[in-house]
Amino acid sequence: MPTDRPPQRTPLQGVRGRFHGRGPARQQGSAMSQSHRSSRISGFHKKSPAERLAIVSEFAGLGGAAAAKLSDTGNLDLDLADRLVENVVGSMNIPLGIATNMKVDGEELLIPMATEESSVVAAVCNAARQCYDAGGFTSSMSGTLMIAQIQAIGVADPHAARLRILGRRDEIKAVCDGCDPILLKFGGGFRDVEVRVLDSQGGPMLITHLIVDTRDAMGANAVNSMAEKLAPHIAEWTGGRVYLRILSNLADRRLARAHAVWPLDQIGGEAVRDGIVSAYHFADADPYRAATHNKGIMNGVSAVVLATGNDTRAVEAGAHAYAARDGRYRSLTRFEVTASGDLSGSIELPMAVGLIGGATKAHPTAQACLKILGVASAERLARVIAAVGLAQNFSALKALATTGIQKGHMALHAQNIAMMAGAVGGEIDRVARILVERGTVRQDVAQAILEDMRAAAR
Ligand code: NAD
């Protein structure tokens, strides 16, 4: 495997060069023989995306068509992709759908959702339609506070050291606020300090929490910088050794909340309502069910988080940690019956999202999605996302408590199966329709239908 830097070529020239004479003689599309393959590629990060793609193509035996797909970065400029993450060779495009019918705090909204899963966008549209006339969703937020943790170990007197840190509040505030004057300008900055003595396998640890208002930023970089700057002071004041200095993704000072009432006549009567409430009771009592219940919520949440260029893993980690805050993993939503007999749904979860920083500003599609949403603050974005999570969960529970989840999934799922069977263009819809009519959505059945269809057309 060559590790020197080949001459600059466009992505496809680079790939073709290796398959058509300039590279080692081997058949197009065939992988390098196992004995010649090595993942130890020195200087890979210093190469251009085209050069990296050529190397990967040779390593994996990618054909020209597969390599061309990778190098077609669509609405993301290749240079920008190369700046966002390391060792870029291309981009992975995900469909962007728009959920309609959403009304949050009286405001009409169209919701951009980036997801590869069928039925997710439709679920939000359906849930929102069924509570639209009753006012849609209301929302609120606990604030935009993030937590950074500083870990100190080997502290001889952890309880006394705790008080020493708490007594330095003004000094701590000055150090933290000195890290980010821009954040201060926008009304954010240090808000509080808390110190916990944590029992651990390695003995007591002293954990300092910096509580920071990060306003319209998710805030990871801001609070991490503050924690790193304060760490030597913590070591000095406690006599301990400081190791970790990093934000907590359990952003429980940044809770987004949403609520909606679904009138009985909109959802199909008492049996449906009671089925949804019972489904919530099931999830709240059983972690096996709660994991799937909350995964459904995150189908909606993560799709908007991704569409707006925010960090899906940060929000997911926060949501699941919050769901387990009582020591048992539970539902992030609650469903109850109102005094008038309608269905009331609510959600509360950490929502560390921003309009500034990360890919939110850099990615042109994220910018377009934020414009579609029309949100003027990170708080507003977080509240809307919470409403989307609740909508998603309502639709999933309604389907599960009535017809089952597969019926709604079937049409789009059948299209995926048709494509997997090799259907192209107009064939996809025709094969999918027959699969749904037969009630058997399987790849082997799709293949048989496709073969019959093509034979009949000959
Ligand atoms: P950032 O540092 O790029 O931008 C935030 C900064 O922008 C602020 O600190 C402030 O200086 C400035 N700013 C300008 N206008 C502002 C306003 N109106 N409100 C607030 N700040 C304003 O971004 P970030 O939000 O600090 O970091 C987000 C990125 O960090 C994400 O990409 C995330 O993936 C990544 N990250 C996450 C973790 C984690 O979740 N554990 C850890 C490290 C990094």
**Cβ–Cβ under 8 Å, residues 422 and 454:** no
pLDDT for residue 24 is more than 90: no
pLDDT of residue 15: 38
pLDDT of residue 36: 77
Distance 223 CA to ligand 1 centre (A): 9
pLDDT of residue 410: 79
Whose C-alpha lies nearest to ligand 1, atom 32? Answer: 358
In this structure, how many other beta carbons lie within 10 angstroms of the beta carbon of residue 35? 6
pLDDT for residue 266 is more than 80: yes
Q: Does the beta carbon of 221 lie inside 6 Å of ligand 1?
A: yes
- Rounded to whole angstroms, how far apart are CA atoms 386 and 243? 35
The 10s digit of each residue's pLDDT in 100-132 is 999 999 999 999 999 999 899 999 999 999 999
- First and final C-alpha spacing in the chain: 47
Which atom of ligand 1 sits closest to the CA of residue 223? 26
Q: Does the beta carbon of 309 lie inside 6 Å of ligand 1?
A: no
Q: Does the beta carbon of 363 lie inside 6 Å of ligand 1?
A: no
pLDDT for residue 12 is more than 80: no
pLDDT for residue 28 is more than 50: no
pLDDT for residue 5 is more than 50: no
Q: Does the beta carbon of 379 lie inside 6 Å of ligand 1?
A: no
- Rounded to whole angstroms, how far apart are CA atoms 381 and 241? 39
pLDDT for residue 1 is more than 60: no
Distance 432 CA to ligand 1 centre (A): 44
- Rounded to whole angstroms, how far apart are CA atoms 456 and 300? 42
Nearest in space to 110 (alpha carbons), one of 373, 385, 310 = 373
Query: Which residues, 6+ apart, have CB-to-CB distance to 360 below 8 Å?
Result: 308, 309, 310, 354, 366, 367, 370
Nearest in space to 412 (alpha carbons), one of 394, 436, 389, 393 = 436
pLDDT for residue 26 is more than 50: no
Distance 147 CA to ligand 1 centre (A): 13
**Cβ–Cβ under 8 Å, residues 321 and 315:** no
For a ligand 1 pocket test, name from 306, 308, 311 the mutation site with the most ligand atoms within 8 angstroms of its C-beta: 311
Q: Does the beta carbon of 188 lie inside 6 Å of ligand 1?
A: yes
* Residue 348 three-state SS: strand
**Cβ–Cβ under 8 Å, residues 383 and 141:** yes
pLDDT of residue 357: 87
pLDDT of residue 16: 36
Q: Does the beta carbon of 366 lie inside 6 Å of ligand 1?
A: no
Just list the catalytic residues: 117, 295, 311, 409
Distance 67 CA to ligand 1 centre (A): 34
Query: Which residues, 6+ apart, have CB-to-CB distance to 331 below 8 Å?
Result: 280, 283, 284, 290, 293, 294, 323
**Cβ–Cβ under 8 Å, residues 394 and 272:** no
pLDDT for residue 307 is more than 70: yes
Which atom of ligand 1 sits closest to the CA of residue 314? 40
Burial pattern 311-331, b for ≥16 Cβ within 10 A else e, equals: bbebbbbbbbbbbeeeeebbb
The 8-class DSSP code of residue 425 comes to: T
Whose C-alpha lies nearest to ligand 1, atom 27? Answer: 220
Distance of CA 166 to the CA centre of its chain: 36
Distance 354 CA to ligand 1 centre (A): 7
**Cβ–Cβ under 8 Å, residues 224 and 98:** no
pLDDT of residue 408: 67
pLDDT for residue 454 is more than 90: yes
Query: Which residues, 6+ apart, have CB-to-CB distance to 113 below 8 Å?
Result: 96, 97, 98, 99, 120, 121, 124, 300, 303, 304, 307, 388
Task: List Cα–Cα distances, 210 to 64, 72, 382, in angstroms.
Answer: 52, 43, 22
For a ligand 1 pocket test, name from 221, 228, 370 the mutation site with the most ligand atoms within 8 angstroms of its C-beta: 221
Query: Which residues, 6+ apart, have CB-to-CB distance to 145 below 8 Å?
Result: 191, 211, 212, 213, 214, 251, 253, 254
- Classify burial at 43, counting beta carbons within 10 Å of its beta carbon; exposed 0-12, middle 13-18, buried 19 or more: exposed
pLDDT for residue 179 is more than 90: yes
Amino acid sitting at position 245: R
pLDDT above 90: percentage of residues in the chain: 85
Confidence of residue 251 (pLDDT cuts 50, 70, 90): very high
The 10s digit of each residue's pLDDT in 330-365 is 999 999 999 999 999 999 999 999 999 889 999 999
* Residue 412 three-state SS: helix
* Residue entry with tokens 């251009």: 48
Token pair of 51, please? 């050069």
Q: Which residue has the higher pLDDT, 16 or 289?
A: 289
Distance of CA 60 to the CA centre of its chain: 29
Among the residue ranges 151-160, 220-229, 256-265, 396-405, the one predicted with the least confidence is 396-405
Distance 360 CA to ligand 1 centre (A): 10
Q: Does the beta carbon of 360 lie inside 6 Å of ligand 1?
A: no
Whose C-alpha lies nearest to ligand 1, atom 8? Answer: 183
**For the residues 205-228, what does the mean pLDDT come to?**
98
Q: Does the beta carbon of 318 lie inside 6 Å of ligand 1?
A: no
Whose C-alpha lies nearest to ligand 1, atom 18? Answer: 216
pTM: 0.88
- Rounded to whole angstroms, how far apart are CA atoms 117 and 413? 9
Query: Which residues, 6+ apart, have CB-to-CB distance to 125 below 8 Å?
Result: 99, 100, 101
pLDDT for residue 178 is more than 90: yes
pLDDT of residue 156: 97
Distance 96 CA to ligand 1 centre (A): 24
Q: Does the beta carbon of 377 lie inside 6 Å of ligand 1?
A: no
Among the residue ranges 4-18, 63-77, 199-213, 333-347, the one predicted with the least confidence is 4-18
pLDDT of residue 412: 79
* Residue entry with tokens 């999202």: 353
DSSP secondary structure of 146-191: EEEEEEEE--SSHHHHHHHHHTTHHHHHHHHHHH-HHHHHTT-EEE
Q: Does the beta carbon of 348 lie inside 6 Å of ligand 1?
A: no
**For the residues 364-391, what does the mean pLDDT come to?**
98
Q: Does the beta carbon of 354 lie inside 6 Å of ligand 1?
A: yes
pLDDT of residue 27: 40
Distance 215 CA to ligand 1 centre (A): 10
**Cβ–Cβ under 8 Å, residues 50 and 8:** yes
Confidence of residue 230 (pLDDT cuts 50, 70, 90): very high
Q: Does the beta carbon of 217 lie inside 6 Å of ligand 1?
A: yes
Distance 235 CA to ligand 1 centre (A): 26
Strand partners, 233: none
pLDDT of residue 282: 98
Which atom of ligand 1 sits closest to the CA of residue 247? 41
**For the residues 76-99, what does the mean pLDDT come to?**
95
Strand order in the sheet with 205-213: 189-198, 205-213, 145-153, 241-247
